[in-house]
Amino acid sequence: MHMPANTLLPHYLFPILFLLVVSWPAGHADHHNHRHRHPFACDPSNAAVKDLPFCKVKLPIAERVRDLLSRLTLKEKVGLLVDNATAVPRLGMLGYEWWSEALHGVSNVGPGTRFGGDFPGATAFPQVITTAASFNASLWEEIGRVVSDEARAMYNGGMAGLTYWSPNVNIFRDPRWGRGQETPGEDPIVAGEYAARYVRGLQGNLPGDRLKVAACCKHYTAYDLDNWSGVDRFHFNAKVSKQEMKDTFEVPFRECVMQGKVASVMCSYNQVNGIPTCADPRLLRDTIRGAWGLNGYIVSDCDSVGVLFDNQHYTATPEEAAADAIKAGLDLDCGPFLGIHTQGALDGGLLKEIDVDSALVNTLTVEMRLGMFDGSGDDVFGKLGPRDVCTRSNQELALDAARQGIVLLKNHGPSLPLSQRRHRSVAVIGPNSDVTVTMIGNYAGIACGYTTPLQGIGRYTRTIHHRGCSNVNCKNAHLFGDAITAARQADATVLVMGLDQSIEAEFKDRDGLLLPGYQQELVTKVAASSKGPTILVVMSGGPVDVSFAEHDPKVTSILWVGYPGQAGGTAIADVLFGTHNPGGKLPMTWYKQEYLSKVPMTTMDMRSNEATGYPGRTYRFYKGPLLVYPFGHGFSYTNFIHTLATAPAIFTVPVDGRHKNTTTNNAIRVTHAKCAGLSLGLQVDVKNAGSKDGSHTLLVYSTPPVGHWGPHKQLVAFAKVHVPARTQLRVPINIHVCKFLSVVDRSGVRRIPMGQHSLHIGDIKHLLSIQSTPLGVIKS
Ligand SMILES: *[C@@H]1O[C@H](CO)[C@@H](O)[C@H](O)[C@H]1NC(C)=O
Ligand SMILES: *[C@@H]1O[C@H](CO)[C@@H](O)[C@H](O)[C@H]1NC(C)=O
Ligand SMILES: *[C@@H]1O[C@H](CO)[C@@H](O)[C@H](O)[C@H]1NC(C)=O
Ligand SMILES: *[C@@H]1O[C@H](CO)[C@@H](O)[C@H](O)[C@H]1NC(C)=O
């Protein structure tokens, strides 16, 4: 039945619709004089609201939130519990879509952001696993700063939100995980530092409580399985011991909240020990908000409140699901579930209005901190517009990040770098040799533009291009002939192989770690017939078992480039021809395929178990031989030598005298130590003994005294330093003793083991004796 449209519209909507129409950016036409979006709330031209207390910029935010809350009806409140938050025209508030994404550039994965008009694209940085491989924390923060400039510009133009559900800081626990690419890798300390730095970059690190954009660390917690062997994330119950939870899974989230001061955390789809994370008050209310002091909001994964009812049948009714989630500490639902079922939960007495209010205090506070209730939009970020997106310097940073993230896995001869003089022609082979969107991985947007590997190499030398396989699945050998012929003729051969989102993605974990289809055969055959050096370039998020190439003398060099972003082809060529000296290191272990047979993806244990033959996970706990490349592996074109300049042999941990002696196994509780400012200082000399300038990643590991529940080795500090050829640099390293020299006991208590710890830097080993002051000596 057809009805005249306006008979359905309530009259109060008319002014709003009118305003929307006239104030939406005119777009294409006035590029240099772009208009701002209409204020979200507290429009200075709206006489009815502009002087209400919640609009008064000078009042404290808590007071403004209280005032606004006191004016909302219950129905209006319920409409604000979902990502597609309804408008409150009565109070001059527009609708707001909370869901935007900015994992490694402004993305259009969430409905809050779209491209077009004045904003055809945004800078597409490398996928996170690649950027992590740089081990350069200031780069991580700088990328966050640039991404949030572009996000603010798009918000001003009416194309994006201010609440970004990034980064993903789950531990890359299993090499098969389809979303491992989105994460900073397998080490909790690297992931924690990445989280804090990227979040600070995004949120602007502003004085007071202000936010440039609001970031979100996800997915809390123990979520790192998408769909494996009949188990999917909507039904997965992760069984996690207290020890593993504290020692591994919660570390990046703790750092994100406490160091990064993130404005949001997202709970995950899966259950942990039988309770859906989004309905677990111990995780949300007690840990994130209580123990870590989140100043921000907790959001569900998309439809995860629906999932805990519909898929997991965790509650008998949808109203109970709504009540459980809100009472557990959830503040916002991605999806419609709370909008539909919260009223019923209130009517049925499962929930009180005050529970809804405490959720809204958290979301409204973040909106106020973002300036959404400040009216005009003339704040410091109000001037950002289309000309601040895809700028030359932003795109240069994307290129720099790609260069810094490339890892040189093998360099026999050495065959790299190539030279323009000697390698006048290069055969460029492989299904990823001329790709664009493959280079930006998932949770991406629309890039400003691309340089493919073929184009990048073509800037240095003449190329002969044959894919060899029509795509990464490489189902047959039909196209091998031309590729082999090209390799026979050219002075050097570059094979760009690997994976893409058809192999590893959200919803899709891998079954194995080998190159798909006939890729391995293509590499071997091409290498066998190459006239010159053969370089294998692996483009992938997760690790690949390339042992065949590591052992093949005809494959002279191997590079891992991750998903290197929009400028990936330039970065690859710069490394191949030596205009950039590679300094990336693997942020995750590369296992051999056989490793998988002993490791069900559903087993969350990080620690090995001799009784069951379970080998353990990651460099921290796996000691077996089934490795292709270890965590932290990566060569340079130069040669760095370390020496320890200064390091204490004894370190004394002051113990707070108020506590009675609860030392167990000669390890003191971290909560009993005086941790503030307690750091161990070392100085390491890094000498560049080669003839090329280069950046070096200094990795400092520690092994705790034996018998102390700990990993056999743990990264405790890292630093990225640039060292010109034939020079030496003294690098100060500070190790946070309570955080990083501690281990977690079986009951989940973090303790500092007394006795001999050993620190390792490259080949150097330094023994450090840790002792504590006797109880009672320190006065409280
Ligand atoms: C958001 O809500 C508006 C109105 O309340 C509706 O028209 C729109 O379809 C919703 N969008 C989504 C993505 O659900
Ligand atoms: C770290 O990244 C920044 C870019 O933000 C760059 O300027 C710096 O040179 C990098 N550090 C090293 C040692 O490569
Ligand atoms: C998981 O994978 C199976 C088979 O590969 C597929 O049938 C199923 O729909 C997938 N489930 C989800 C939730 O993606
Ligand atoms: C605590 O008690 C244990 C065992 O009784 C003892 O060995 C240890 O030295 C005491 N620790 C301190 C810091 O006094």
Q: Domain locations in the chain?
A: 640-774
Q: Please give the distance, rounded to the nearest whole angstrom, from the Cα atom of residue 294 to the centre of ligand 1.
A: 29
Task: Identify which ligand lies nearest to the alpha carbon of 339.
Answer: 1
CA distance 679 to 664: 23
Q: In this structure, which ligand is nearest to the CA of 225?
A: 3
Q: Are 509 and 142 in contact (CB under 8 A)?
A: no
Q: Which of 51-65, 71-85, 488-502, 699-713 has the lowest mean pLDDT?
A: 699-713
Lowest pLDDT segment from 206-210, 356-360, 581-585: 206-210
- Ligand 3: atom nearest CA of 232 is 13
Spatial CB neighbours of 8, under 8 Å, sequence gap ≥ 6: none
State how far the alpha carbon of 341 is from the alpha carbons of 306, 319, 337, 350, 566, in Å.
10, 5, 6, 11, 43
| 57, 64 contact by CB (below 8 A) | no
Angle, in degrees to the nearest 10, between helices 251-258 and 188-203: 30
Flag the least confident range among 378-387, 476-485, 548-557, 644-653: 378-387
State yes or no: cis peptide before 414, omega within 30 of 0.
yes
Ligand 1 contact via 120 beta carbon (within 6 Å): no
pLDDT (0 to 100) of residue 277:
98
Decide: 394 in ligand 2 pocket, CB within 6 A.
no
> Would strands 667-669 and 750-753 be described as parallel, antiparallel, or unpaired?
antiparallel
Question: Going by CA atoms, what residue is nearest to atom 2 of ligand 3?
Answer: 227
| CB distance 661 to ligand 4 below 6 Å | yes
Q: Which residues share a beta bridge with 475?
A: none
Ligand 1 atom closest to Cα of 111?
13
Contacts of 524 (CB under 8 A, 6+ apart): 548, 552, 554
Ligand 1, atom 14: nearest CA belongs to which residue?
84
Confidence of residue 5 (pLDDT cuts 50, 70, 90): very low
Check if 661 has its Cβ closer than 6 Å to any atom of ligand 2. no
248 DSSP assignment: I
User: Ligand 3 pocket by C-beta < 6 Å: which residues?
Assistant: 227, 232, 234, 507
Rounded mean pLDDT, 462-485 = 98
Residue type, 407: V
What band does 35 get if pLDDT is binned at 50, 70 and 90?
low
User: What is the predicted pLDDT for the residue at 17?
Assistant: 34
Q: Any bridge partners for residue 764, and if so which? A: 761
DSSP code at position 740:
H
Residue 729 has pLDDT above 90, yes or no: yes
Torsion over CA of 87, 90, 92 and 98, rounded to 10 degrees? -20
Provide the whole-model pTM. Answer: 0.94
Pocket of ligand 4, candidates 661, 664, 666: which has the most ligand atoms within 8 Å of its Cβ, to mutate?
661
381-439 pLDDT, tens digit each? 999 999 999 999 999 999 999 999 999 999 999 999 999 999 999 999 999 999 999 99
Whole-number pLDDT of residue 658:
72
| pLDDT confidence tier of residue 656, bands split at 50, 70 and 90 | confident
CA of residue 500 to ligand 2 center, whole Å: 28
Least Cα distance to 655 among 752, 576, 577, 727 occurs for 752
**570 alpha carbon – ligand 2 mean position (Å):** 18
Cα four-point dihedral sign 154, 157, 161, 162: positive
Q: Tell me the three state secondary structure of residue 530.
A: coil
Residues 6+ apart with CB under 8 A from 777: 655, 657
Q: How far apart are CA 293 and CA 261, in angstroms?
A: 9
Please give the class, per CATH, of domain 640-774. Answer: mainly beta
Q: What's residue 19's pLDDT?
A: 34
The confidence score (pLDDT) of residue 630 equals: 98
Helix (H, G, I), strand (E, B) or coil at 237: strand
Testing ligand 3's pocket by substitution, the residue of 223, 225, 232 carrying the most ligand atoms inside 8 A of its CB is: 232
Give the CA diameter of the chain: 84
Quote the CA–CA distance of 408 and 133 in Å, as a whole number. Answer: 11
Measured from the CB, is residue 652 less than 6 Å from ligand 4? no
pLDDT tens-digit series, residues 260-316 = 999 999 999 999 999 999 999 999 999 999 999 999 999 999 999 999 999 999 999
What CA–CA distance (Å, rounded) separates 264 from 284? 11
pLDDT single digits (tens) 311-349: 999 999 999 999 999 999 999 999 999 999 999 999 999
Quick one: pLDDT at residue 378?
Answer: 65
Predicted confidence (pLDDT) per residue in 670-727, tens digit = 999 999 989 999 999 999 999 999 999 999 999 999 877 889 999 999 999 999 999 9
Q: Is 752 in the pocket of ligand 4 (CB under 6 A)?
A: no
Residue 662 CA, closest ligand 4 atom number = 1
Ligand 4 centroid–CA 665 distance in Å is: 9
Strands 679-688 vs 667-669: parallel, antiparallel or unpaired: unpaired
Distance from Cα 250 to the centre of ligand 4, integer Å:
29
* Ligand located closest to 770 CA: 4
Q: Which ligand is located closest to the Cα atom of residue 16?
A: 1
Give 86's Cβ-side CA count (13 Å radius): 18
CA–centroid distance, residue 698 to ligand 2 (Å): 14
Residue 34 clears pLDDT 80, i.e. is over it: no
Closest C-alpha to ligand 3, atom 13: 232
**Which protein residue has the closest C-alpha to ligand 1 atom 8?**
84
Query: Which listed ligand is nearest to 696 at the C-alpha?
Result: 2
Which residues face 218 on adjacent strands?
168
Tell me the residue length of the chain.
780
Question: What's the CA gap between 279 and 267, in Å, rounded?
Answer: 9
User: 720: which 2 tokens?
Assistant: 């990225």
The answer, yes or no, to whether any atom of ligand 1 lies below 6 A from the CB of 111, is yes
Average pLDDT, the chain: 93
Residues paired with residue 558 on neighbouring β-strands, in sequence order: 410, 536
Six-digit token string for 117: 């008009």
In ligand 1, which atom is closest to the CA atom of 79? 5
Binding site membership of 273 for ligand 1 (Cβ less than 6 Å): no
Give me the mean pLDDT over the 554-568 stretch. 98
Tell whether the model's pLDDT for residue 29 goes beyond 50: no
* Residue 279 to residue 251: CA distance in whole angstroms: 21
CA–CA gap between residue 694 and residue 642 (Å, rounded): 14
Cβ atoms within 10 A of the Cβ of 713, count? 17
- Please state, in angstroms and rounded to a whole number, the distance separating the CA atoms of residues 401 and 574: 13
pLDDT score at 37: 78
Q: Which of the listed residues 81, 84, 97, 333 should we mutate to test ligand 1's pocket, taking the one with most ligand atoms within 8 A of CB?
A: 84
Phi, psi of 670 (to 5 degrees): -60, -35
**Phi, psi for residue 222 in degrees, rounded to 5:** 50, 35
Distance 687 CA to ligand 2 centre (A): 18
Residues 6+ apart with CB under 8 A from 421: none
Ligand 1 geometric centre to CA of 508 (Å): 29
Supply the pLDDT for residue 325: 98
Cα(661) to centroid of ligand 4, in Å? 6
**Residue 250: phi, psi to the nearest 5?**
-85, -10
Q: How confident is the model at residue 376 (pLDDT cuts 50, 70, 90)?
A: confident
pLDDT at 2 over 90: no
Rg of the chain over Cα atoms, rounded to whole angstroms, equals: 27
Q: Which residue minimizes the CA distance to atom 10 of ligand 3?
A: 227
**pLDDT above 80 for 507:** yes
Query: What residues are annotated to the active site?
Result: 301
Residue 85 to residues 77, 88, 328, 389, 466, Cα–Cα distance (Å): 10, 9, 21, 27, 51
Three-class SS of residue 752?
strand
Instruction: Report the nearest-CA residue for atom 11 of ligand 1.
Output: 84
Identify the three-state secondary structure at position 394. Answer: helix
Among 439, 564, 420, which Cα is nearest to 492's?
420
Is residue 50 scored above 80 in pLDDT?
Answer: yes
Indicate the burial class of 550 (C-beta count within 10 angstroms; 0-12, 13-18, 19 or more).
middle
SS3 state at 610:
coil
Q: What is the pLDDT of residues 602-617, one digit of tens each?
A: 999 999 999 999 999 9
Report how far residue 171's alpha carbon sits from residue 195's, in angstroms, rounded to the nearest whole number: 11
